[in-house]
Structure formats: structure tokens, C-alpha cells
């Protein structure tokens, strides 16, 4: 997972894509969008240019991150004829806290003193663009009670980690923006008209690296096109590449409101 483009260019390109797809929704068979909040808990380990086991930082024990509440949003457009359907999803994540490690440790090219507090920040923003098709024979055979989608997903992952120890003046950071192709699978079960049970999976494994997301959602159709939903999302990244050794997860419950036309 290498550098793809400057972060500002990435955000401009992603914003342009959303506007383009939204503007073409009048020609689509269906549009669904939702906004909500996600309570995020981080766990796992992180190291940058580690030379020994003491250089591995535990999210729970060393970085001392608490739960964070962040916004997330998604847009899905069902296109006509043989065109693939399109889904876009954005899920920013950021953690910061004052931590401490009992021993000296190295992060990047800097050595940080043990038993001395340091401030760290971890940002992991994820933007997904998915092209997929529904399996029509399943939906037809079940009288629209069960739907299965298959496709490909491109995850634009923006990872940034920084550590600053004010008392010693030590400071180091790492950031990378990468586009990661993934497989996509989604299942929706509607036992009754007002309730949908949904599951989504995006993931890939290349060599020793892997990245995946799992989402479970209960959706309640409350009035007309409006719905409310809640569920659980788990994102996992395991990367050992370009001096970065990251094996951490972000997970937690979420709630959202949306419209489906």
C-alpha cells in the first residue's frame, strides 16, 4: 500500500465524484442515502521502523485511547440496464491522547524516553467506492425477501500517526494515502416490509497484509421513503510494509437516518 496522491487532491476528487453521481440520480432506478454516528473503539498494536519488541505500541496500554464518536455517511445508486450499481461510503476516524511507556522506545527515526508522558494522534479515514450487481435469480425466487450483491470495492485509506514528547523535544510522524482494491458482498433479508436485516463485507489479503470491514445493520422503514437504522461496524487492518507494522481494529455500534427512493 503505497502513496497514491496528495491528500488535498484526494478530497477534491472524492467530492467531485459524489456531486457527479448525485447529479445523475434522476436517471437511476433508485437512490438511498444515510447519515449517522459511529462510536469507535480502537485496539491492537502500531510500530514504525521498529528494531525490537519495546518499539511496538499497544493502543490500549501505551497510547491510552478512549472511545470516540464520529460521523459517517453513505450513498447508493441503482443504475438501469447493464450498468453496475454504485455505492459510496465515508467513515473518518481519529484518536488522540496522552500516553506513557515504561521503557525507551523508537518510533520512526526518533527515540522517546520511557516513563515520560507523550501525546499521540492516530487518524484512519476510509472512503469506499463500490461497483456491484445484484443476483436477480435470488431476489426473484424469494419474492424480493432476499437480495445478494456482489462486486468490487476500492477503499481509499488515509492513515496518519504522530507522537510528540514535549519534555524531550522528540517528535515523529508517519502518513500514507493508498487505494486498496477489495471484494464486496452484501446480503439483505426483508421478512416484513418495514424491517430489513443487512450485512456487508469488504476485504482483501495480499501477502502478509490484509484489510477488511464487516457491517451488520437493522433497518426500520418508519414512514414513506424515510428509515432509521442501527448496527455494528468492525474495521481491521494488518499491514507490515514500508517500515510500518500496524495490526489494529476499529469497531463499535452506529446509528443512522436516511431516505430511500
Amino acid 25: pLDDT? 46
Domain ranges for the chain, please list them: 7-260
Query: Nearest Cα to 60, choosing from 21, 97, 29, 103?
Result: 97
Query: What are the backbone angles phi and psi of residue 11, rounded to the nearest 5°?
Result: -65, -40
pLDDT tens readout for residues 153-167: 999 999 999 999 999
- pLDDT digit string, tens, across residues 198-229: 999 999 998 878 999 999 999 999 999 999 99
**What global pTM score does this model have?**
0.86
- Match 485509506 to its residue by C-alpha cell: 157
Q: What is the pLDDT of residue 2?
A: 43
For the domain covering 7-260, report its CATH number: 2.40.128.90
Cα 257 to chain center, whole Å?
19
Q: What is the pLDDT of residue 220?
A: 97
Handedness of CA 23, 91, 204, 189 (dihedral sign): negative
pLDDT confidence band for 18 (50 / 70 / 90): low
Task: Quote the CA–CA distance of 210 and 239 in Å, as a whole number.
Answer: 6
Amino acid at each position: 500500500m503505497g502513496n497514491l496522491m496528495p491528500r488535498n487532491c484526494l478530497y477534491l476528487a472524492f467530492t467531485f465524484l459524489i456531486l457527479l453521481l448525485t447529479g445523475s440520480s434522476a436517471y437511476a432506478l433508485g437512490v438511498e442515502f444515510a447519515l449517522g454516528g459511529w462510536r469507535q473503539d480502537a485496539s491492537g498494536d502500531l510500530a514504525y521502523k521498529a528494531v525490537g519488541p519495546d518499539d511496538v505500541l499497544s493502543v490500549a496500554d501505551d497510547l491510552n485511547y478512549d472511545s470516540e464518536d464520529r460521523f459517517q455517511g453513505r450513498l447508493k445508486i441503482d443504475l438501469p440496464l447493464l450498468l453496475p450499481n454504485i455505492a459510496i461510503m465515508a467513515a473518518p476516524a481519529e484518536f488522540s491522547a496522552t500516553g506513557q511507556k515504561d521503557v525507551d522506545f523508537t518510533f520512526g527515526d526518533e527515540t522517546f524516553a520511557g516513563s515520560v508522558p507523550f501525546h499521540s494522534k492516530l487518524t484512519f479515514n476510509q472512503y469506499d467506492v463500490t461497483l456491484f450487481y445484484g443476483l436477480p435469480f435470488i431476489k426473484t425466487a424469494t419474492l424480493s425477501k432476499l437480495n445478494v450483491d456482489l462486486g468490487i470495492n476500492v477503499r481509499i485509506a488515509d492513515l496518519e500517526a504522530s507522537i510528540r514528547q514535549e519534555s524531550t523535544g522528540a517528535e515523529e510522524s508517519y502518513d500514507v494515502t493508498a487505494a486498496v482494491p477489495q471484494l464486496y458482498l452484501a446480503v439483505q433479508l426483508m421478512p416484513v416490509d418495514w424491517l430489513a436485516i443487512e450485512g456487508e463485507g469488504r476485504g482483501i489479503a495480499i501477502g502478509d497484509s490484509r484489510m477488511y470491514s464487516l457491517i451488520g445493520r437493522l433497518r426500520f422503514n418508519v414512514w414513506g421513503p424515510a428509515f432509521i437504522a442501527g448496527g455494528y461496524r468492525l474495521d481491521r487492518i494488518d499491514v507490515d510494509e514500508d517500515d510500518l507494522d500496524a495490526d489494529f481494529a476499529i469497531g463499535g455500534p452506529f446509528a443512522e437516518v436516511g431516505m430511500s427512493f
